[in-house]
Amino acid sequence: MCGIVGVVSKSPVNQFIYDSLLLLQHRGQDAAGIATTDGQSFYMHKGNGMVRDVFRTRNMRDLPGHVGIGQVRYPTAGSSSAAQAQPFYVNAPYGIVLAHNGNLTNWEQLKDEMFRIDRRHINTTSDSEVLLNVLAHELQQSSLEGLSVPSLFEAVRGVHRRLRGSYAIVSIISGFGLLAFRDPNGIRPLCIGRFEGPNGTEWMVASESVALEGMGFAFERDVKPGEAIFISNDGELTSQQCAEATSMHPCIFELVYLARPDSVLDGVAVYDARLRMGDYLAEKIRREIDYKDIDVVMPIPDSSRPAAMQVAKRLGLNYREGFFKNRYVGRTFIMPGQAMRKKSVRQKLNAMRVEFKDKNVLIVDDSIVRGTTSQEIVQMARDAGARKVIFASAAPPVKFPNVYGIDMPTRSELVAHDRSDEEVARIIGADELIYQDVEDMKAAVRDINPALSDFDASCFDGNYITGDITPEYLNRLEQQRKAPKAPVERDSGDNGDGGEGDENEPRGAQLGL
C-alpha cells in the first residue's frame, strides 16, 4: 500500500504534488519522492521519511515543469531502504519515470526474465523497478515505428499479459505525457480528477479522491480495472481498455483501515462503509453476548470511530472517547518492524482514567492483525481501572497472508491464524472477543454500492483472486521473510544534508536525506 499521484498542469507542479502527497501521507510514511519534467529533462528528489522531512525549499526549486508524479511509500516487507524510494527512472526507450502502488506476485520470475531474455538489469529488490522495466521493454517493442498513443496502449496490453498481482501506476514518458493504468482485477484504487482553469483543462490521477478534492480538482471517475489513461503534455486525455479479461475486486481492507474516511473508492464512501460495518457488528454483538452490563463503548481512534459510534447507537449504549491520540506519532500498523510498532502504541495512545475506572468497557477497533497493538490497548484499559474489557473488531479475523501490497505476509505474524476466537482473546488479554463476519463485512460495502459483487478479501477468506498463489508460494515467502537481511549500504549522501545523487539518476535527483 502506497500513495501515488500524477498531474498534468498549466503551471509548475512541484508544490502541487508536494501538497497532494501530504493528503496521501496516511498511505505511507517510509519514503517519499517527486519527479517532474519540463518536456526535455526529468528532475527528481526522493528519500526516506515523511513528506515534510524529505523535501526542503532547495529541493523544490530543483523540480521545475508542468507535468509530474509523486509517491509516498509503505514498505511491504517490514523494512526500508533509500534505494527503494520511488519514483524509479529508466533512460530507454525515450526516458520513463514511474511510481507504483501494489505488489507483484511474480516479480522474481520477471526479474529473471528481464536479465535472460530482455537483457535488462534490475538494481534493487523492488518489484516496482521490475514493473518499470517490463513497461520499458514492452514500449520499446510496440514503438518500433515511432512513439504514439496506440503504441503506448499496446505496451500496457503487453504489461498486463506479463504481470500478476496488484498495481496502480502513474508514469511519465519524456516529451510525450503521463500514462496511468490499473491492474485487471482493480485491487488497488486509482481515480481521475479534472480542473477547468483560465488556461485550459488540467488533470490529476491519484490513489484516493481526497487528494483530488483537497487540491481543488473535481472527481471525474475511477480508473477501470485494466484501463490505461494517457494525458498528453497539452492536457488531452485518451483512455482505452488494455486487458483481455477484467474483474472488479477492490481491496476491502482499504475500506476497513487503509483509506482516509473522507475518500470515495470505486463508488463507496469510506466513512459510510465503516458506519455500516458498525451496524453489522452491533447485530452480532447483540446475538452473541450479554451486552446490557456494558457501561461504555470506546473506539481506538481514528479509523474505528464510525463503527464504534454505530455499535453504541444500535445497542443503546453510552459512547465515550477514552483513548487520547498523539497525532505526532505515525500509524503503528504501517511502521516498519514489529519492535517499532510495539514501542509506538503507548506513545501514540493514552487512556484517560476517568473514562475507564470501575467500568465494563467495549473497545471497538477496525481490525486485529498481529495482536500486538490490541494486547497493549487492553492492558492500558485495565491499568486505567477498567473492570471488564470486551474487544470487538469491525473486520473479520485476519487469518491469511496478504500478498497484494499490505505488510502481513507471513502466517506466524497473524494472531488469528490457526487460533480460535477464544485463544486470541486470551492472547490479547480481553474478557471476550467479537469479530465481524466476512459476509457481513462484504454486505456492508454492497449496501452502499450494489454494483460491487466481490472483493479482494484474501487476508480474511484466503481467496487469492490472481489465481497464482499456492501453498508453496506462501511457504517461500515466509522463509524469505524470516531470513536474515544484509545491512543496508548507505552512500556518502546519507548525512542529512542531501547528497550528490547517483550518476544514473535524472538531474536534480537527491537520494540522501
Query: Among candidates 203, 16, 182, 214, which has minimal Cα distance to 100?
Result: 182
For 238, the grid coordinates are: 485518451
Look up cell 536525506; give the residue.
513
For 154, the grid coordinates are: 499496446
How many CB atoms sit inside 10 A of residue 458's CB? 23
DSSP state of 27: G
C-alpha distance from residue 330 to each of 102, 163, 334, 399 (Å): 21, 32, 8, 25
The answer on whether 295 is annotated among ligand-binding residues is no
Q: CA 163, CA 330: separation in Å to the nearest integer?
A: 32
Query: Among candidates 61, 66, 68, 62, which has minimal Cα distance to 11?
Result: 66
3-state secondary structure of 410: coil
Q: Which of 2, 191, 242, 459 is catalytic?
A: 2
Q: CA 163, CA 148: separation in Å to the nearest integer?
A: 23
The answer on whether 420 is annotated among ligand-binding residues is no
Q: Which amino acid is at 186?
A: G
The answer on whether 303 is annotated among ligand-binding residues is yes
Q: CA 349, CA 145: separation in Å to the nearest integer?
A: 60
Query: Among candidates 389, 387, 413, which has minimal Cα distance to 399?
Result: 413
For 115, the grid coordinates are: 536479465
C-alpha distance from residue 382 to each of 357, 394, 405, 429 (Å): 9, 22, 35, 10
Cα angle 22, 134, 80 (rounded to 5 degrees) comes to 40
Return all residues near 164 (Cβ < 8 A) that are at least 6 apart. Answer: 104, 105, 106, 466, 468
459 included as an active-site residue: no
Q: CA 309, CA 316: separation in Å to the nearest integer?
A: 10
Is 435:397 a contact under the CB 8 Å cutoff?
Answer: yes
Residues annotated as part of the active site:
2
List, as residue ranges, the binding site for Mg(2+): 303, 365-366
List, as residue ranges, the binding site: 303, 365-366
